[in-house]
Structure 1
Amino acid sequence: MTEIAVGVSNAGAASERAVRWAAEHAGARGARLRLVHVVDRAIEATGDAELLLAAQTGARDSLEAARVTADSAAPGIEIVTDLQQGRAEEVFERISKSVELLVVATDWHGGRRPSRRGVHSLRIAAASHAPVAVIPDVDLTARNGVVVGVDGSPEGARALEFAVHEAERIGEPLIAVHAWDIAVIAGGEYGYGVAMVGTDELSQAAEELLDEALESIVSTHPNVEIVRRVITGDPVTALADEAVDAKMLIVGSHGRGPLARFLLGSVSHGVLSHLEAPTVVVR
């Protein structure tokens, strides 16, 4: 059986939303849901047995509360609990090797463009072998659409495939966004190269790239409404702005490498730092 894992914490509303989101996806996919709580190894390192016992007791209570939440969100799904000790990034990296999707909550507590944010979700997303969904504490009731970043790369193609299945599953339009920034066109940052190609030609090339990426999607998913967006500007800003009213944002990320524990691609890192909707990073 396939499995979806979700991090459980004492972070309140964001953690609860992450559990509900993961449970609903597990139910839709016929997957088992794994609730994971990590007790930080620093607690054990103190040598304080009472502190460790209290942390473990609190973790079990959190897991039981999460089980109740998950069962109410998706009655009948198989749920297992998993109490771990260690560094969260290392634990979730290991778990990500055997799950279909990893879900974590962010510590965002509101604000249009929050300037302060914890780094755990970024590090977990960077190190994961599976797609990672980062869930903010936002109400999705009045939102519509699944936004996906399209850039013509293999990672972008995998993100697009993931997104169209999500859009089809929940009956929402697929909003395909291709953003291009003249400042990052080859040579543009040095003041040459762009002058040889007009912006009209660049815009047309961007339209063609998006059309080509969507060609097979249109034919294989005829019932999915597709909205095309070609935007001149910073891709992170473009995707974050589109995600403000969306139910979900999907982006691709670079393959894992020696720096995977610390780095995502600039766009995936950017949208997780400006989290506007549940955001899935697909490798």
Structure 2
Amino acid sequence: MSGLVVVGVDGSAAGLAAVEVAAEEARVRSAGLRVVHAFLWPAMHVPLGASPLGPAEGGLRASTERLVSEAVERAGAVAPDVEVSRAVVTGEPLTVLEAQSRSAELVVVGSRGMGGFVGLLVGSTSVHLAAHGRCPVLVVREPAVPDGPVVVGVDGSASGAKAVGFAFAEAALHGTDLVALHAWTGWNAPLPAPQDERTPYANEPGAPATGEERLLSETLAGHQERYPGVRVRREVVHGGTREALIEASRTARLLVVGARGRGGFAGLVLGSVSQAMLHHAHCPVAVVRGGDRNA
């Protein structure tokens, strides 16, 4: 066994869905799986044992052990050959999972947990972990399309390059196709209010599209050599990045994005595109930071 996949659980349906995805990810990696629950109550000095007036098996600690046991059993049903360990760690979920990510090659979480507010599409822990985790973070939103491709957003940024490498590895591990999607907007609009037909354009006709196709080819080149068995479909889309990726996610088993893109503001940890995917994609989303290990 090499490597470790960590999954955060909290007793919610989203958490159990994340366990199933994490177990499969551990299986294809020949990695171990660690089921982690952040136990906040001890830090708040709340009684953990059974109430003298209630059943002997009651209390917060016993309830926590039951939900972790359920998650371990679910993982065993999905991937019986995977070595599964458990950890109940005192602390706030983001802090606990960020610490766990330091020794993991992948952290998996549900899109919303027990603390999710009604109407909130994705939980705060998922968003913050995607921004601060020390390894790639996979957020399980809607179910994946089992025979769908891995889709990766390509933008030419350093963070995006890490995401492309992770996406190639995922496609190879799962034996599926890879869709490399690059979206661009119109740089070829004419200059202000043409007075006659001689008014120049910002670029020669067709030049922007050619440049964007070149960017995509250059980004993929080294990865295709490393993963020759992965069949790649290239898509250069003239339009908005968010809209293109959300549409592609409808038929995907996984969508992979970088944490920040070419247009990221200095100091911004999680870019607007990656945040939009966490909220609106139709499949699980992996967010890969530029500094992530195992990416």
CA distance in 1, matches of 2:144, 2:162: 27
Give SS of 2:11's match: coil
| Aligned-residue offset at 1:282 | 1.1
Q: Counterpart in 1 of 2:32?
A: 32
Deviations 1:208-230 (A, max 9, x none): 11111122233332222111111
Could you say if the C-alpha distance between residues 67 and 204 of structure 1 is closer, same or farther in structure 2, counting changes exceeding 3 Å? same
Q: Which amino acid in the other structure matches residue 269 of structure 1? A: Q
Could you say if the C-alpha distance between residues 115 and 78 of structure 1 is closer, same or farther in structure 2, counting changes exceeding 3 Å? closer
With normalisation by structure 2, the TM-score equals 0.81
Matched, 1:117 2:113: no
Unaligned runs of at least 5 residues, structure 2: 52-57, 114-118, 194-199, 290-295
Deviations 1:21-53 (A, max 9, x none): 111111111211100011234x75264455897
CA distance in 1, matches of 2:205, 2:69: 57
CA distance in 2, matches of 1:147, 1:248: 6
Greater per-residue helix proportion: 1
Q: Counterpart in 1 of 2:180?
A: 176
Matched, 1:15 2:15: yes
What pairs with 1:63-74 in structure 2 (closer than 5 Å)?
63-74=68-79
Deviations 1:133-179 (A, max 9, x none): 001242534x4100001111221111111111111221211100001
Q: Which amino acid in the other structure matches residue 287 of structure 2? A: V
Q: Counterpart in 2 of 1:89?
A: 94
Percent of aligned pairs sharing the same letter? 32
Q: Counterpart in 1 of 2:81?
A: 76
Contact 1:2 1:99 in 2 (8 A): yes
Contact 1:39 1:55 in 2 (8 A): no
Contact 1:2 1:31 in 2 (8 A): yes
Contact 2:183 2:240 in 1 (8 A): yes
Match of 2:162 among 135, 152, 158: 158
What pairs with 1:1-283 in structure 2 (closer than 5 Å)?
1-12=2-13, 14-41=14-41, 44-45=43-44, 47-49=46-48, 54-107=59-112, 116-138=121-143, 140-141=145-146, 143-182=147-186, 195-198=201-204, 200-254=206-260, 263-283=269-289
CA distance in 2, matches of 1:221, 1:5: 25
Give SS of 1:77's match: coil
Deviations 1:67-126 (A, max 9, x none): 111111111211110112221111111111111111101129xxxxx8743322101111
CA distance in 1, matches of 2:240, 2:61: 45
Q: Counterpart in 2 of 1:111?
A: none
Contact 1:2 1:100 in 2 (8 A): yes
Could you say if the C-alpha distance between residues 89 and 27 of structure 1 is closer, same or farther in structure 2, counting changes exceeding 3 Å? same
Could you say if the C-alpha distance between residues 220 and 259 of structure 1 is closer, same or farther in structure 2, counting changes exceeding 3 Å? closer
Contact 2:49 2:62 in 1 (8 A): no
Unaligned runs of at least 5 residues, structure 1: 109-113
- Give the number of equivalent residue pairs: 267
Give SS of 2:251's match: coil
CA distance in 1, matches of 2:121, 2:177: 32
Contact 1:144 1:246 in 2 (8 A): yes
More divergent stretch after superposition (147-156 vs 132-141): 132-141
With normalisation by structure 1, the TM-score equals 0.84
Contact 2:6 2:33 in 1 (8 A): yes
Q: Which amino acid in the other structure matches residue 67 of structure 1? A: V
CA distance in 1, matches of 2:266, 2:161: 23
